Homo-oligomer: A and B are copies of this chain.
Amino acid sequence: MTILKALLDQRRAFAARGLKLNMTRGVPCKEQLELSTPMLHITDTSSRGIDCRNYGQLEGLPEAREFFAGYLNSVYEETVVGGNSSLSLMHDVIAHARLRGVPGDTDEIWRKQCVFLCLGPGYDRHFTICESLGINMLPVRMTADGPDMDQVRSFVQNKSVVGMWLTYPYHNPTGITYSDETLRALISMKTANGGFRIFLDKAYAVHDLTERRARLLDVRAESLKCGTQDRVFQFCSTSKITWAGAGVCAMSASPTNVAWFQRWLFAQTIGPDKLNQLRHVRFLKNMEGVYGLMAEHRKILRPKFDTVDKVLRTCIGQTDIASWTTPEGGYFISLEVEQGCAKRVVELASGVGVELTKAGATHPYGRDFEDKYVRLAPTYPSLIELDDASEVIANSVHIASIEKRENRRVVP
């Protein structure tokens, strides 16, 4: 009983301090945003004879298309550069598919009852797009190498399975990078529906937390080799490179897919904000410029991830009530607690002023059936705040697990 008393005393001490910390979302901190301050002073308006202030360039500024073709390991013609949100681009591709169907989907399943494969845990905003557009979600197990391919291979035998979400590298929220073998299997596998599409979110392509750069499979080359070049849409943005709210997004897809999307895009806009695209290209210059900037981000972020890990190790490292990832990239730590405890952990932490991502948010329909995943987003708070927050989390995990064992609430 002394452990519980100590935990409750600690909890009372937290409460007395009136903490107000937010770890809900993968949001860059102020210091990260400051890294791109020079971009504010770029006043170029012209690129290769194109006045970026005027209408036009539906698929993006040529300079920007070149830049993002490099970023996405693609080619100019297959790269489209958009506004400030890759989520919008993903959403719009899928909305377009729902309204108009996609090439290869002979039975037009995309326009009817259709299904996406969704990794759990995964990114809640991907799931929101599916829900919003009336697409059913089928959870897929996660292995150390990525999606469980036995499950996936079996699911795609069904024509109603039209899509799948992936985050590559550094899966959100577990931080793992799918193995080449798994990715190759996803690219080459037979699918019942010729309109099956993979939505590959490269949100963290250059967001390494160690000196080692993520070595990525050349998805486009691999798809061409397998004759499945229409299968994968790749997406990225500079939201976590320059500015989360004022960045630039891009996508890469086969000529067939790009031509298909252009028809929608033509109805939707006269063209993207090329001035912001130009600012970005002039500021980032090339991939070495990007990696240079990401090294500065790493200097800010690495200590934050280390702090959470250190505090959790100190407080609950010796127990078997929780485990967590030590990601080599991305924006999240995935905390795995005892079955049936995740919701309670989030609730307990909130009770003393530490807001965490809603338990379940990492799963399709917000339903984590085992109730054991908690996503931690350490990028926004300061180191001192993270120290406090991590202690609160450890304390909450501990209390929740005692409550589970004793089958009673020890905190009202």
- A contacts, CB < 8 Å to B: 25, 27-28, 30, 33, 36, 40-41, 43, 45, 51-57, 83-85, 87-88, 91-92, 95, 98-99, 125, 128-129, 131-134, 239, 243-246, 263-264, 266-276
Contacts and interface: CB of A to CB of B under 8 A. Distances in A.
Contacts of A244: 53-55, 270
B88 A275 contact: no
A131 B267 contact: yes
A28 B43 contact: no
Contact of A270 (B36, B55, B87, B271): B87
Contacts of A87: 268-270
Nearest to A133: B99
A28 B36 CA distance: 31
A245 B99 contact: no
A100 to B, nearest CB: 8
Given A33-B51, A87-B268, 18 more contacts: A33-B45, A40-B45, A41-B43, A53-B246, A55-B239, A56-B245, A84-B273, A85-B269, A88-B268, A95-B95, A99-B134, A132-B263, A132-B268, A133-B267, A245-B274, A246-B273, A273-B273, A276-B276
17 contacts: A36-B53, A52-B246, A53-B243, A53-B244, A84-B273, A91-B267, A98-B99, A99-B134, A125-B270, A128-B266, A129-B268, A132-B263, A132-B266, A132-B268, A133-B267, A245-B275, A273-B276
A54 B83 contact: no
Contact of A95 (B33, B99, B128): B99
A43 B273 CA distance: 18
A267 B132 contact: yes
- Number of chain copies forming the complex: 2
Nearest to A33: B53
A25 B55 CA distance: 10
Contacts of A45: 33, 40
Contacts of A128: 266-267
A354 B335 CA distance: 66
Contacts of A264: 132
Nearest to A84: B273
A335 B121 CA distance: 61
A30 B27 CA distance: 38
Contacts of A132: 263-264, 266-268
Contact of A83 (B28, B83, B129): B83
B43 A275 contact: no
A273 B129 contact: no
A273 B269 CA distance: 16
B267 A246 contact: no
A97 to B, nearest CB: 11
A133 to B, nearest CB: 7
A99 B97 CA distance: 11
Contacts of A54: 27-28, 33, 243-245
A33 B129 CA distance: 37
A82 to B, nearest CB: 9
Given A99-B98, A267-B129, A243 B40 contact: no
Nearest to A42: B40
B84 A272 contact: yes
A268 B91 contact: yes
A24 to B, nearest CB: 11
Contact of A243 (B33, B131, B263, B275): B275
